[in-house]
Amino acid sequence: MPHRGRASPTSYARPIAEEMHASSVSVVIPCYNYGRYLRDCVRSILEQPGVDVRVLIIDDASTDDSAAVAADLAADPRVELRVHALNQGSTRTFNEGLLQWATGTYTVLLDADDMLTPGALQRACTLMDAHPQVGFVYGRPLIFHDRGALPHASRAAGRWIIQPGHRWFEARCRTAENCIQNPEVVMRSRWLRQLGGCRAELPHTSDFEMWMRLALYADVGYIRGPHQAYYRDHPASMRHVHFATSLADLQQVWSAFALLFRDHGHVLADRVHFEQQARRALARRALCAACRSYDWGPLSMTEVHGLEELATTVYDHAADLGESRGLRWRKRLGPRWCRILHPLFMVTVGKRLHRGLRRWRLRRTGR
């Protein structure tokens, strides 16, 4: 049912139980030229205790040895392989697995360069078994760099936090930021089948839009404490290759919000309020990124103009924001003096402290 009216308070459920559950989980692994990571990814799934897991590897016409590695992994009866003769792109590949193949009670979309931590699926499934109104659950990802050793994942006892979906969605509108990396999410399959999967118009933010869409119709669960997944940060990832600039990233973020409000805004009792929050937050992020270009470089005036245009396009009162005044001041001062003086230094320190506080809150509450 759609959430309407004011949200009820966030509920803190009992500590995570240790009993075994044989929940069925379908794990979809899209793979394009990630053969070097694939074995570790699949192994992290097959070694999950207490769940009935099935894996689909979809090789999207890779040019490396991904298909050969996947064929070897498919010797395990729990693993199935599909190989595309022609590259279908990320969102079509995602949906092939999410909507056409996944039959488990729960579904996971896991990039081939990421991994699950020990016990992650059991923890997530136990929460969702206990709370049928939860549409998806996530937890803390452990981000590591490709060149380093795999860090130790925390398995500390945690607690469940169950949030009304539209309260979680409002938090996304206030910040215009995605608080989820991706591999730490477990979704309820019936909601995916009802609401659909990833949108082809959003090659960078399709997962973000999908989670926000689910939150409009179901509650959101968060596992506080243990790490739920390993997220690998490396130069070949889509985020670094295709959406490395702030402008490209924020344009996709706004497209996700715009499509969501257009197609699903009717389930919100106060759509105008939510949309204005998202517009203002997105404008502030764009203007902050433009200011950073002056302060730290490298300065690209095309990028700065694009960010400023994005801010004024999405939010009518962008010129009245403090970030807009800061950008005008930097333009008058010029990039050379901006970098020498680091203008508004105390404000910059304050923003760093604010970001640190938000990271702490995210770790504690998932929002």
Q: What b/e readout covers 208-238, taking b as 16+ CB neighbours within 10 angstroms? A: bbbbbbbbbbbbbbbbbbbbbbbbbeeeebe
Q: What domains can be seen in the chain, in order of their start residue? A: 22-234 (3.90.550.10), 246-365 (no CATH)
Using CA atoms, how far residue 240 sits from 183, 261, 362, in Å, is: 17, 28, 23
* Gap between the Cα atoms of 311 and 281, Å rounded: 9
Q: Record the pTM.
A: 0.87
Q: Which long-range contacts (CB under 8 A, 24 or more apart) does 265-268 make?
A: 267/2, 267/3, 267/4, 267/216, 267/217, 268/2, 268/3, 268/4, 268/166, 268/216
Distance, first Cα to last Cα, the chain: 22
pLDDT of residue 14: 53
* The predicted structure's pLDDT at residue 119: 96
For strands 23-31 and 106-109, give the pairing: parallel
266 burial (CB, 10 Å; 0-12 / 13-18 / 19+) is: exposed
Chunked mean pLDDT (size 10), the chain, 367 residues: 44 51 89 96 97 98 98 98 96 95 97 96 97 97 84 88 96 96 95 95 95 98 96 71 79 97 96 97 96 83 95 98 92 84 57 63 65
Do the beta carbons of residue 41 and residue 112 sit within 8 Å? Answer: yes
What kind and span of H or E run contains 351? Answer: helix 345-365
Residue 303: its H or E element: helix 301-314
